[in-house]
Amino acid sequence: MESETGRIEAFSDGVFAVIITILVLELKVPEETGSDFWHGVREQWPHYAAYVVSFLIIGVMWVNHHTIFSHLKRVDRPLLFLNLLVLMVVSVVPYTTNVLAEHLMEEGGSANAAAVLYSGVTVAYALAFLAFWWYVTRVGHLFHEQVDKEGARATRVRFGLGAIAYPLTVLLAFYSAPLTLVAHFLIAIYYAANQIPIPLVVEEERLETASDLRK
């Protein structure tokens, strides 16, 4: 089954938009009033910190997702299901964000357990997105003609770095929940500043290929 990419991209964008909106809704209004109001605001800093980190993570996810689809000319049935798998994992992020924020500064192991849950979901996302990208680049039949399929296939290793970095945050979660949140923030900043370009065939190569086909 083949179809245009517009419909699946619009659906995915809608899901990402709802997920980010839910993140905002998890921020609570301080119960304190009067002179204690700002104290109540400060007491909720774990929620603000978790919100910022999760927003960055989801934002980078959306950017990567958008970048890939801008290089596709069609989708097929397996890709539809892999895309659903990616969205299913991403949609859990608001829940794990709220859990981590609620337990971030608690003692007795609940903070570590919340951090393990948060990191575990990011591991699942990294694996789902890696499977998505491996399928896209395996044959390259869904790409636009301008995409360098061999070059795109060579980016698999860099795309898979998250499958190494995020499991390390799971191990860190057993030691410190706040440090785990900081680690996720740094990983998100890295991916935001170091996007992986999908190489294109240079004009001369495409002209040469077209000439060969006419012979």
Q: Give pLDDT tens digits for 72-83.
A: 888 888 899 999
Residues 6+ apart with CB under 8 A from 42: none
Of 189, 133, 122, 123, which Cα lies nearest the Cα of 156?
Answer: 133
Q: Which pLDDT band, with edges at 50, 70 and 90, does 206 fall under? A: very low
Q: Which pLDDT band, with edges at 50, 70 and 90, does 121 fall under? A: very high
Question: Would you state the structure tokens that stand for residue 114, as one six-digit string?
Answer: 């919340």
pLDDT tens figures, 165-198: 899 999 999 999 999 999 999 998 888 877 667 7
pLDDT score for 203: 46
For the whole model, what pTM was predicted? 0.83
Q: Residues 96, 119: contact at Cβ < 8 Å?
A: no
Statement: residue 16 has pLDDT above 90? yes
